[in-house]
Amino acid sequence: MVGSALLITYKCGHSFIEDKIEVKETSFIFKDGTPLYPFQNEDVALAESANFRVLINDDPGLGKTLTGLAIALKNKLFPCLVVCKAALRTQWVVEIHNRTGIISQLIKNGKDGPLDFFPIHIISYDSLRNAKWIDEGEYKPKLIILDECQAIKNIDSKRTRALQGLIREVSNQTKPRTFNVDLAKREKIKTMAQDLMRHHGLVDRFELFFEDIGKDRLGLCECRAVADGIIKGRITVSQSHAEKDSEDDVLDTILHEIAHAITPGAGHRPIWSECAKSIGGSGNAVAWCEGTIAIEENVATHTGIIALSATPIKNNAKEYFPILNILQPKRFAYESHYLNRYVDMYNSGYYAKYGGLRRNSTFFSDTADFIIRHRREDVLKDLPKLRRGHKFFPLGDDVARAYAALSGEFQKFYDENEESIGSQENQACILAFLNKMRHLTGYSKVDPTFELAQEFLEADESRKLTIFHHHIDVGDMLTAKFRSIGVEPLRFWAEDPERGRKIGQCATSHWPSTDPKDRILIASTLASGEGLNLQACSDAYIMERQWNPANEEQAEGRFIRIGSEASFVDITYVTATKTIDEFMIDLVERKRENVSFTLNKGQNVSVYNEQSIIRDLAALIARENRKRWSV
């Protein structure tokens, strides 16, 4: 520590200074009373020790969202920017509000900028890459949370460059210096510059940049002494020069600056000229070059970055570099160095192809201080036997319009018949309205449920997943989605003629392999309450709600059976916002607080009055409809 700054020195001798973010030494509980599990507290502590630059690589279902949110709240790192997939923006808005009471700003496009009075701003990756306000440099988040950070997999992409524009590592600059800037059609220039740096032994001591450095400069060499006889620094080549001028002229500029790096402090004296000629340069002193310039040691402005992903590598280990570079730009400055040191590569005959990580133990050792990894089996003692959670998604535009029209019809019917609403005839009409609302929300959740399931399959190649639905056509639509990617899920419904065989298949401990097509069960909730044993599975999505929560709980009980291999079960309720789903949460979760629910050998002993629930649900919708949805 140097005052309020942090001096970081690596084994290789590299060192730099950055702001040290103050850590709040207090325990943390969310405003709604939700505590963190012990392993999540460990994650928070490690993030604090790493000056808030970490990748949380925990297994799915272990609460990475809450951990990231807790880091921001505990240490008051506001403004905070959450970057996520477009489909997950609503989930973040709801989760933040439910846990903390904070209302976040959801930035829907690249034109709308963050508003100062919101402590948390949420934007999708696609909107971020087109955000015009980044270039203005006025928005300075103290923390950026990158949800599903595998979306950042190309160092030259607009997404990555937009993030780099928000992360100000060097003081007295409006934009950070960016390695590997896209040179449009001059990719060869960049490659040759990197190769020349490597050939002359500079890659461990000098960084390479392409950026605008003023109209009178073509190149720039900056350096500083870090120890006796050890000089480090950076070489910068004018981006417009590299893109527009002849290849020979640009290469001469690069060799010109490399010669300065080899002979620091010599200016344009003969020793420098001889060096430049010996490495292939012209050796001519020019007016635009100032020789070597000393780097002023300033404290870098530090932005915390919490990256979240269960699967940071999707296709190959090359895709891992951008997020490593963003989190630790000094340690992972060069993609070529990372590829040579950690990644399996081979030549296909036309170009290099990349595989997985090699030297795994070395990589894990080198990154243990900022990559956090918890497996489910490591933290089972911290988790409850049965965990219920919610994933929130907005309605699609077409379904939203149909739902709004139906909701308006329901409101009109309820208002006109309020005095006799309890009659048998009116209750039948109300049930018909509610069934239509539930059916529409079921349609809207096919795509998000499918996307969740795909991420589940990719994150863990051994776990199985059950998806419960109510309407047969909704189950058919979901099944068709899986078939479109070559996966034929096991399907289970009440009138299935092969019901008995499938019950036996689900009960087997190997269900029956790790192939994706054998790891998905799509089942009717009402057909799954009896006789079905799912002890080989510990994860389920409830895609459509039941009027009687006991039916859902009975389906939940299929997992905790004699011979169960799971130490706990995760049940996720897929929820459509601004629909009947949200009212079901309000109603059912309140009732669950008052109803004793236990699992005795897998048998559900809860008792609910379904007619009462339907009446209460209709009254709740009628009372809150206009206020909540402005219908």
3-state SS string for 24-40:
CCCCCECCCCCECCHHH
What does the pLDDT read at residue 602?
38
* Mean pLDDT in residue range 278-289: 87
* Separation CA 429–CA 20 (nearest Å): 63
Q: What is the pLDDT of residue 211?
A: 83
- In angstroms, the CA 444 to CA 90 distance is 14
Structure tokens at 426: 């009116």
Does the pTM surpass 0.75? The reply is no
* Model confidence band, residue 11 (pLDDT cutoffs 50, 70, 90): very low
The C-alpha atoms of residue 106 and residue 125 are separated, in whole angstroms, by 13
Q: For the segment 18-39, what is each residue's pLDDT rounded down to a tens digit?
A: 566 666 555 689 998 889 988 9
CA distance 41 to 279: 55
CA distance 371 to 362: 13
Per-residue confidence (pLDDT) for residue 296, from 0 to 100: 61
**What pLDDT shows up at residue 560?**
66
230 has pLDDT over 60: yes
> What values do phi and psi take at 475, rounded to 5?
-65, -35
pLDDT tens for each residue of 138-157:
888 999 999 999 999 888 88
Sign, CA dihedral 579-584-587-590, equals negative
Task: Supply the pLDDT for residue 510.
Answer: 45
The greatest distance separating any two alpha carbons of the chain, rounded to the nearest whole angstrom, comes to 103
CA-based R_g, the chain, Å: 29
Which tokens is 340 given?
């040579």
For the segment 83-134, what is each residue's pLDDT rounded down to a tens digit?
999 888 998 999 999 899 999 999 998 888 999 999 999 999 999 998 989 8
pLDDT band, very low/low/confident/very high, at 514 (cuts 50, 70, 90) = low
pLDDT recorded at residue 231 = 86
DSSP 8-state code for residue 396: P
> SS3 for 551-586, per residue?
HHHHHHCCCCCCCCCCCCEEEEEEEECCCHHHHHHH
Arch. (CATH architecture) of 187-294:
2-Layer Sandwich (3.30)
State how far the Cα of 522 lies from the Cα of 541, in Å rounded to an integer: 10
Q: How far apart are CA 618 and CA 428, in angstroms?
A: 12
Tell me the C-alpha distance between 92 and 548, whole Å: 28
Residue with tokens 């080899």: 262
Beta-sheet pairing, 120-124 with 490-492:
unpaired
In this chain, the answer to whether the domains covering 26-172+300-334+367-376 and 386-629 adopt an identical fold is yes
Q: Are strands 465-469 and 520-524 parallel, antiparallel or unpaired?
A: parallel
Per the model's pLDDT, the better-predicted residue between 518 and 631 turns out to be: 518
- Distance separating alpha carbons of residues 604 and 627, to the nearest angstrom: 36
* DSSP assignments along 458-497, one per residue: HH-SS--EEEEESSHHHHHHHHHHHHTTT---EEE-TT-T
Amino acid occupying residue 79: P
Each residue's pLDDT tens digit, 159-214: 888 888 888 543 333 344 444 445 656 778 888 898 999 899 898 888 888 888 87
Strands in 321-451 per DSSP E? 343-347, 352-357, 371-372, 386-393
pLDDT in the model for residue 24: 54
Query: What type of residue sits at position 613?
Result: I
Q: pLDDT per residue over 392-436, tens digit each?
A: 999 988 899 999 999 999 999 999 998 898 899 999 999 999 999
**CB–CB of 184/242 below 8 Å?**
no
All residues at 6 or more sequence positions from 377 whose CB lies less than 8 Å from its CB, including other chains? none
In whole angstroms, give the CA distance from residue 318 to residue 150: 11
* Contact assessment for residue 454 and residue 393, using Cβ atoms and an 8 Å cutoff: no
Best CATH choice for the domain 26-172+300-334+367-376 from the list 2.40.110.10, 3.30.390.30, 3.40.50.10810, 3.90.1150.10: 3.40.50.10810
Mean pLDDT over each residue of the chain, to the nearest integer: 82
- The confidence score (pLDDT) of residue 13 equals 42
At the topology level of CATH, where does 386-629 sit? Rossmann fold (3.40.50)
Contact indicator for 84, 96 with CB cutoff of 8 Å:
no
% of the chain at pLDDT higher than 70: 82
Residues 219, 225, 231, 232, CA torsion sign: negative
Is the backbone peptide bond immediately before 79 cis, with ω within 30 degrees of 0? yes
First to last CA, the chain: 58
Distance CA 493, CA 371 (A): 43
Residues 6+ apart with CB under 8 A from 157: 129, 322
Identify which of 215-219, 474-478, 522-526 has the greatest average pLDDT: 474-478
Q: What is the pLDDT of residues 373-398, one digit of tens each?
A: 988 778 877 776 788 889 999 998 88
Round to whole Å and give the CA distance between 345 and 305. 29
Q: Residue 600: which H helix or E strand, with range?
A: strand 599-600
Quick check: 508 pLDDT over 90? Answer: no
Structure token digits, residue 540: 């389920």
Highest-confidence segment of 473-482, 503-512, 548-557: 473-482
Distance CA 467, CA 476 (A): 12
Label residue 577 by pLDDT band (50, 70, 90). Answer: very high
Separation in Å, CA 616 to CA 172, 282, 290, 307:
61, 86, 79, 42
Whether the per-residue pLDDT at 511 is higher than 80: the answer is: no
Q: What is the pLDDT of residue 205?
A: 86
pLDDT band at 519 (very low <50, low <70, confident <90, very high): confident
Residue type, 362: T
| Distant-in-sequence, close-in-space partners of 386: CB < 8 Å, separation ≥ 6 | 556, 560, 568, 569, 571, 599
Per the model's pLDDT, the better-predicted residue between 295 and 275 turns out to be 275
Q: Is 553 left (phi over 0), alpha (psi -120 to 50) or beta?
A: alpha
Q: With bands split at pLDDT 50, 70 and 90, how would you rate the model's confidence at 371? A: very high
Distances (CA, A) of 384 to 167, 310, 388, 429, 570: 38, 21, 10, 41, 9
* Half-sphere exposure in the Cβ direction for 290 (13 Å, CA): 13
Cβ-count burial of 352 within 10 angstroms (0-12 exposed, 13-18 middle, 19+ buried)?
A: exposed
Residue 609 contacts by C-beta under 8 Å, 6 or more apart in sequence? none
Other C-beta atoms closer than 10 Å to the C-beta of 560 total 18
pLDDT at 10 over 50: no
Which own/partner contact pairs does 373-379 have at CB distance under 8 Å and 24+ positions apart? 373/57, 373/58, 374/39, 374/43, 374/58, 374/59, 374/62, 375/59, 376/59, 376/61, 376/62, 378/39, 379/37, 379/38, 379/39, 379/62
Query: Could you read off the pLDDT of 38-83 as tens digits, one per residue?
Result: 899 999 999 999 999 999 998 887 889 999 999 999 999 999 999 9
pLDDT reported for residue 468: 95
pLDDT bracket for residue 135 (50, 70, 90): confident
Record the tokens describing residue 467, joined without a space.
Answer: 């998806």
Residue found under tokens 């002193």: 285
Q: Which residues contact 58 (CB under 8 A, 6 or more apart)?
A: 39, 43, 64, 67, 310, 372, 373, 374
pLDDT at 3: 42
pLDDT at 15: 46
Q: Report whether pLDDT(631) > 50.
A: no
Q: Where are the domains of the chain?
A: 26-172+300-334+367-376, 187-294, 386-629
